[in-house]
Structures are given as structure tokens and as C-alpha cells.
Structure 1
Amino acid sequence: MPQKLSAKKYMRVTTRKTVINKKIKGTVKSTTKKTLEAITNSDAKSATEEYKKAQKALDKAAQKGLIKKNTAARKKSRLNKKIKELVTKK
């Protein structure tokens, strides 16, 4: 347990930021999972809608520094590639 006042404050800030970061990462995971689920169900319309949400969540996470920009770009690219394959298949 921290003794100094500044260390106590830093501990409070860290716990608050940890909660926020976990929430953002959770939305990234859930939106990408929903997108992949829609792709496997061959539902192009819902897949594109979920992709937009996933893209937004990935961009926010990259902007906050939770994931690297290249990681976000790679994940968006792979999802987009799968959606394009689904759309052209029909």
C-alpha cells in the first residue's frame, strides 16, 4: 500500500484508467467477434453493419494507444477482405 499522497493518487488514477481500457478492449473484441459471426452466417448486410462498428472501435483503441495503429489497420483489413469475399460470392 502506498504511503505518499502522490503515490495514492497515482494508484487511484491507474485503477480508473484500467477499467476504461478494459471496457474499450472489450468492445473491440465483441464487435470483431460479432462481425466474424455474421460472416460465417453468410449475412452480408449485418456483416457490413458490424464491420462499421468494429472499425470505429479499433480506431478508438488505436487512438488511445491500447493497440498499435498497424495492428488496428491489419485487423480492419482482414475483416474487410472477408466481407468482400462474402459479397462477391453471392
Structure 2
Amino acid sequence: ARDDRPWGGEDPPGVVYFYAPGRAGEHAETFLTGFDGILQVDGYTGYNRLTKPLRKGGVPIRVAHCWAHARRKLKEVFDRDGSEIA
């Protein structure tokens, strides 16, 4: 999904959905052949192959990770270590 209007972007909002019968990273690589830009993703490691210098189908993609997923991992660390946020 994309909607850059609040930041003055000129591109129209857009969304793309692809289905693959599995979570293998090569599916993302195939779907994104030719894409060059920033991709917002969750923490799934299958996307890591898209950031490699020798990525099939294009230049390395820059990823913007999802804050909701990052927050979950941080909470797990705090819960595990008994830490508290001040």
C-alpha cells in the first residue's frame, strides 16, 4: 500500500497483492523483479534476499521495517529481561 499524499507526494495511492503457495523468499524476488525503491515489510527473513548486492531481477531494495513488528520484539526483550520502560 502507498499513500504519500500527506507528505506532498505526487503519485496516486496504490496497493498490490500477490499470492504464492508458500513463504519462500524466491516468491518475493519473483514478484518484485524490476522493482527499485523502498519496500515496507514485516520482519520475515525471506525478504533479506532482496537487499543483497547480487539480487536477481534488479538492484538491492531498501527495506523499511514495520514498527508494529519491531515493537513486539522490543517488548519480548523487556519481558524476558525484566526491564521496565522509564
TM-score bin (small chain): under 0.3
**TM-score normalised to structure 1 length:** 0.27
More helix by share: 1
Task: Give the structure with higher Rg (CA).
Answer: 1
More strand by share: 2
Of structures 1 and 2, the one with the larger relative CO (CA 8 A, separation 6+) is 1
